[in-house]
Amino acid sequence: MRKGEQTRAAILDAALDLASRDGLEGLTIGLLAERMQMSKSGVFAHFGSRDDLQTEVVREYHRRFEEEVFFPSLHEPRGLPRLRAMLSRWFEKRVHEVTTGCIYISGAVEYDDRADSQVREQLVSSVTTWRTALLRAISQAIEEGHLRRDTDPALMLFELYSVTLGLHHDGRFLHLPDAADHAWAALEKLIRSYQTESR
C-alpha cells in the first residue's frame, strides 16, 4: 500500500479498537488523534467527519467478521455442517468480545432510535447481511434433511441471537464466570432440539 493508504489503515485499526472498548459514540477525532500521535486535521484528512469515521469502523468490523466467521465456514458441506461452523465461529468471536466489546451489540444500543444516522444504516446493513446468511444456512440444513421439516428459520434465528445477547449480558455486564459455558450449552441444546432423529 501507499503511505497514505497505510496511514488510513492504521487509523482505522486504532479506531476499531477504541470503538470496541468505548462504543462508537465514544470514538472521537481528538481521542483517535491522540492515540495515533497525529493532529486532528491529519485524521480529518483521511475521514471527512466523525460520522464518516464511525461508518468506516462499522464497515471494517463487518469485513473482518466475514473473514473470520462467514467465509471460512463456506468450506464446510452444505447443511448442518456449514451451519454449525458458522455458529461455532460466531460464538467463539462473541466469547472473545466479552472482554474486547462487540461493535454490533453496542452499536445497536447506541443507534437503535436514530433513524437518520448513516452509522445506524451501516450497522443495520451489516447485521442484516449476517442474519440473511444464517437464515440461508438454516434453510439449507432443512432442505438437506439435517433439521426437522417443521423448523421455522426465523424463530431459530431469533433463538440463536437471544443466546448471543445473553452471553454478552452475563459475561460483559454481570461478569459471570460461567457465561460462556452456559452459552455453549444453550447453543448445543438449541441445535439438538431442531435436528432430525437421523442426525
pLDDT > 90? residue 42: no
Query: For residue 59, is it within any domain?
Result: yes
Q: Of 80 and 30, which is predicted with more confidence?
A: 80
Q: Which CATH number fits the domain that encloses residue 97?
A: 1.10.357.10
Mean pLDDT of all residues in 19-31: 89
Q: What single-letter amino acid sits at 135?
A: L
CA end-to-end span of the chain: 48
Identify whether 9 is part of a domain. yes
- Return d(Cα 133, Cα 130) in angstroms, integer: 5
Tens of pLDDT, residues 129-174: 999 999 999 999 999 999 999 999 999 999 999 999 999 999 999 9
Establish if 128 belongs to a structural domain: yes
Mean pLDDT value across residues 125-131 = 97
Q: What is the pLDDT of residue 195?
A: 97
Q: What is the length of the chain?
A: 199
17 domain residue, yes or no: yes
pLDDT at 199: 56
In the chain, how many domains are there? Answer: 1
168 in a structural domain: yes
Q: What was the pLDDT predicted at 116?
A: 82
Give the residue, 49 or 145, on which the prediction is more confident.
145
Q: Is the pTM of this model over 0.85?
A: yes
Is 189 inside a domain boundary? yes
pLDDT tens string 65-123: 999 999 999 999 999 999 999 999 999 999 999 988 899 999 999 999 888 899 999 99
* pLDDT for res 1: 58
pLDDT at res. 7: 87
pLDDT-derived band at 30, boundaries 50, 70, 90 = confident
Task: Identify the pLDDT of residue 198.
Answer: 58
Residue 141's domain comprises: 3-194
Task: Report the run of H or E that residue 117 belongs to, with start and end.
Answer: none
Residue 128 has pLDDT above 80, yes or no: yes
Burial of 4 (0-12, 13-18, 19+ CB in 10 A): exposed
Q: What pLDDT does 47 receive?
A: 83
Q: Is residue 199 part of a domain?
A: no
Residue 89 counted as domain residue: yes
- Three-state DSSP at 195 gives strand
